[in-house]
Amino acid sequence: MLAWLDALAADGLELHGFTLRRSGRVVAGGHWFPYGPERVHHVYSLSKAFAAVGVGLLVQEGRLSVEDRVVDLFPDALPPVVGEHLRAMRVEDLLTMRTGHAADVTDVLYAAGEEHWVRAVLAQPVEFTPGTHFVYNSGASFLLSALVQRVTGETLLEFLTPRLLEPLGFRGARWVSNAGGVNLGGWGLHLRTGDAARFGQLLLNRGKWQGRTLLAPAWVDAMSGAHVPPGTNPGDERSDWAQGYGYQLWRCRHGAYRADGAFGQFCVVLPGQDMVLAVTAGVRDMGRVLDHTWTHLLGNAQESPLPPGADTEALRVRCETLTLDVPELLDPPPLRDTQAHFTFDPNDDGWEAATLTVTGERGTLALDGPTPNTVRFTLNTWEEQTLDTWGTTVALTVRAGWQADGTLALTLLLIEDGARWEVRWPAPDAPLSVGLCAPHYGEGHTLSARPSTLGA
């Protein structure tokens, strides 16, 4: 476990939390402060596995069949002409990402207007016979959420809560919906790291939790089986994205399977080791997280627990003291009252101007753009607040302070979405830089703002 943590750190992989379960109990876990165990985290496409469970619950309640045709479930959202391929598309084709589409149709959803997403997906050409052609397709996962809502009259989250989430002990879970009130299905679920691990334990137990069957064992087997055979997804045959696909779950090397989401969200189930690993993160190279898991955890799993000793104590201390890698600040902070105004260079993000103010240990960063915001901070302290962005309000945690070279450094964490901004102001006459440095923004996405007026 210590070697796994060391390897992740050496690769510069930014994890936010992890929980490792073995033989039905938590054996290790921790969060990189200021992330914590009670904080929900967007798990992106890991959400898809919960959509598959929603469908499975409908199947076991006798309210749906995987052989049901999609056109029969959404007769009011069909295009004027229904081709033979669309007419043949079944619920199982949505589950296995073999809808017959040549490419992911997710982009058409936002272009169509959010209240018409089902209609937008069904209007797309279906080039292949459903069930014969695999393409990773979040639009198919959205349709799973939509059909659960169509059958039950409840959102997917509402449907799952008494049947799955409450029995598993989930707290604070939420799922983003479109303007039509439908949970996004393929993404948008926010949950705690430990909740993802309990979900993995349910799958490992083939649907049982604390002696109670929540999900039919046959459905778990169907979810985790390779309906799409290995090698179907183009790429390195050794890749964990080329081992086959089930019902919204990926097969892995070493007999494992997983739900995963962009930027390093994982729920990995290892039946041969009676183990579950859940990870929340903000990484670009997701494959490295799995590589280190196979190297350091898979091969070192033992049947009996380690006796108390230096290694177990070192692991306990390490897990309790994990901290996010952030800029080093002068402590105690110097008190430098200042105010500066900046004008952003033209940018696609729509940011226009900024005002940075520091008075004693307190300060603000006012941002003028599509959605004006004022970020508050206290020097050398993490401070929680909210930020209006992307048409919604998100949780924000901010830390700011002076560095030894005179730079004022701010770290802004969109802490429930895994995104990160790094703001730097190196000198009174220097530009302000805003680095959108989380993997969401790709490499080197930095906005620059020129100073316009200064004050002190």
Model confidence pLDDT, tens digit, residues 393-416: 899 999 999 999 999 999 999 999
pLDDT in tens, 353-380: 999 999 999 999 999 988 899 999 999 9
pLDDT in tens, 141-151: 999 999 999 99
Residue 328 lies in a domain: no
Give the whole-angstrom CA distance, residue 420 versus residue 115: 30
The DSSP secondary structure of 93-132, one letter per residue, reads: HHHTT-SS-SS--HHHHHHH-GGGHHHHHHTS---S-TTS
Residue 299 lies in a domain: yes
Work out how many domains the chain is built from and give that number. Answer: 2
Of the candidates 273, 241, 235, the residue with the CA atom closest to the CA atom of residue 258: 241
Task: Map residue 341 onto helix, strand or coil.
Answer: strand
Cβ–Cβ under 8 Å, residues 263 and 418? yes
pLDDT at 351 over 60: yes
Cβ–Cβ under 8 Å, residues 303 and 275? no
Residue 189 lies in a domain: yes
Residue 181 lies in a domain: yes
Residues 112 and 261 in one domain: yes
Looking up residue 402, the CATH number of its domain turns out to be 2.40.128.20
What single-letter amino acid sits at 89?
M
Residues 89 and 221 in one domain: yes
- For residue 130, what pLDDT is reported? 98
Residues in contact with 455: Cβ distance below 8 Å, sequence separation at least 6, in sequence order: 338, 339, 340
Domain holding 350, by residue range, is 338-455
> How many helices (H) and strands (E) are present in the chain, helices listed first?
14, 21
Residues 181 and 75 in one domain: yes
Residues 381 and 261 in one domain: no
- For residue 312, what pLDDT is reported? 86
Last residue of a domain, one of 319, 353, 371: 319
pLDDT-derived band at 89 (thresholds 50, 70, 90) equals: very high
- Average pLDDT, whole number, for the chain? 94
Residues 358 and 232 in one domain: no
Residue 149 lies in a domain: yes
Residues 96 and 43 in one domain: yes
Residue 329 lies in a domain: no
Give the whole-angstrom CA distance, residue 374 versus residue 376: 6
Residue 333 lies in a domain: no
More confident residue, 444 or 103: 103
Of the candidates 375, 193, 338, the residue with the CA atom closest to the CA atom of residue 267: 193
Which residues are paired to 185 by β-bridges?
none
pLDDT in tens, 17-49: 999 999 999 999 999 999 999 999 999 999 999
Task: Map residue 398 onto helix, strand or coil.
Answer: strand
Residues 215 and 349 in one domain: no
The DSSP secondary structure of 400-411, one letter per residue, reads: EEE-TTS-EEEE
Give start and end residues of each alpha helix (H) in 135-282. Answer: 138-152, 156-160, 166-168, 193-204, 217-224
pLDDT in tens, 238-282: 899 999 999 999 999 999 999 999 999 999 999 999 999 999 999
For the whole model, what pTM was predicted? 0.94
Last residue of a domain, one of 291, 319, 347: 319
Residue 415 lies in a domain: yes
Looking up residue 18, the CATH number of its domain turns out to be 3.40.710.10
- Say what angle helices 217-224 and 193-204 make with each other, to 10 degrees: 110
pLDDT at 441 over 70: no
- For residue 388, what pLDDT is reported? 85
Phi-psi region of 181 (alpha: psi -120 to 50; beta: other; left: phi over 0): left
Percent of the chain with pLDDT over 70: 95
- For residue 299, what pLDDT is reported? 74
Residues 302 and 437 in one domain: no
Residues 344 and 294 in one domain: no
Residues 295 and 396 in one domain: no
Last residue of a domain, one of 271, 292, 319: 319
Give the whole-angstrom CA distance, residue 37 versus residue 366: 31
Of the candidates 385, 368, 378, 335, the residue with the CA atom closest to the CA atom of residue 434: 368
pLDDT-derived band at 237 (thresholds 50, 70, 90) equals: confident
Residues 301 and 386 in one domain: no
Residues 365 and 245 in one domain: no
